[in-house]
Structure 1
């Protein structure tokens, strides 16, 4: 029987702790509305080349210049302070490649298939602070395991709604909120919140998403998060993680960790029946400037692990540059090596190489699934795919160009029958240049 409540008892218990904790500590001094203000500008140049080799089409090549301006005010004086945040974004097309073809840097073209020459958006947020609690309403930059705006393209994703955050207890953070609309990272306007893999009717999305969570970092080297969320009439999703870093000596440390999601359909079940448990385990050995990570990930359920459209709320170890390795009943393994070239006298230069292999039995996937049938076919009894990633980044350490970052990414993905064509044979290259400027 479907749960008719808006939230489960666990969700309500977490949410109920947030407001009372606001009175657990005294008032914090404020820097003032003007004195505490900051204005930052980030100029991001982004090139993406995505070659879908299975489709035998021309490469999807897009190149753009983005500008992201963010203003954050301080708070007015007093026990209850008020403030205002605002942002403006502009994306310019430098090369549309004759059509976007879904590479997602620029807006999707209309009849001609060509992206417009520019697109822009702006938004604002009213905020209030009392004691150690902050309330925001408006256009939000969200970043937590159940609703995180996509930050991996030219412009970031934002959400329109309300959020509440509390830091009354040392080592603890409590938060909750509701979002009704999202601005996707390659669009100007707002739309209802959808999911990355599910096909909602008429692409209308859900009416809203609610979430609540608690984070703990009060023990040196240990962090943990517990979140609950509801995407109305689609799913209830729960998340837990535990991460610990143990230093053997000044050179060597060990880092085991766990991520776990449970997702189940709720309300009108717009994506059909969902009963999905997904987890990943990792173990990292850091030795000086070297690190080696081994990870295992498992999806239990006849639907993929799904998350908010274009978002980054997929806190799983095997979520890579191209694939998330999140297919129904999929098992995947990863080996990653990273090196910091500061050990060779080149501070600011880092690199990583990863290899991931996944396999699953897609014959159990329901071909009539309203939400996910387009992604998989029942002939993939022994479906397999793998991905190889190379990531190199350099951040300027000083001078007038301090903090300018150049990042090169290369991903190769290969898949067998059973997966959709877009999740099979793909080569993808990215060149990203970020130049952040602190205006004041």
Structure 2
């Protein structure tokens, strides 16, 4: 699959003219990483150029002279005003990647269906309402990005894209799960977030190679048992739906590493959810359950999000989660950091913003590997000097509290790079003192 990251226009902003001014030597121009103003501007390099970037230039049409670029493998036309593409584009027999993000396309250009070498097409942030039946001729297509369009259905011929591995139809107008997708058995990545889908078809069980399924922000009230047939699934995101429960078949997803369940209406979880022993990332934010199930078997988890749940305590078994690196406890009801955290010296990031903390206790120093500590928006008045024992701490966030002073011990925190103290009760003379204490850190008041 093409390395799409290499085509990110933010990484290749240098205009041809800017580049020449900086080097004052046209011989040093690397055309493959230069953002040209037009096709004509790049013509001197047409015979050998493999990548052409014409991004953010307000281009309204692509010159027919594009046919001169016979060796072209990738073209990035992001952030222009294109509505069509010239038929001459079909002469680029080696073209593998075309990026058309943020243009004005309402129709999928038929000329693209004549370029059978294409492996990646990115039409994100346009105005497409449908795809042509001829899209099935793109036999080598592996990745299709249709984020933020107006697509409400897929043509039946879409099922013929047998080499397709990744498709993103996030933020569109689908009201039903496209059955055509279930016939593409090589599919590994499927993003259908932010549509109007309410159910999974039985045929989804064919997608035994699917590794990522993102169906967040839809209208699911339940997931049927067929979810358990996705035997290769590693990442499942069902956040922002109306799910009240999960099918017991969820326990069959024994390769699952990331499970995002936040912002649903769960009242219970199936017992065999504990069978998901490979989980590394678990999101349980903004749920309505009064009591979480026993997740003690999830000791492979590295990232745990329990934010916005009105929690006042944490289960003691978390002390056995030796792989846990990041915990998000934001927007709960903690009056003090849960004591179980103090036995987790392997923890690296702790977010406990928007709770009811009144102080930073001395025991916080026991979490000796912390690199980020976020305690914004609490009621903290006192900061213990023992916080200086967090020798790995790089970012300390204490904004929107009631802090008047910080302990002098902070001067020993050589690795501290950022400290946020906005909206506290620190007087100017004390601000000056804090700045002197931390000459190597960026302090924000």
TM-score of the pair, normalised by structure 2: 0.26
Which structure has the higher relative contact order (CA within 8 Å, separation 6+)?
1
Q: Going by fraction, where is strand more abundant, 1 or 2?
A: 1
TM-score relative to the length of structure 1 = 0.26
Structure having the higher Rg: 2
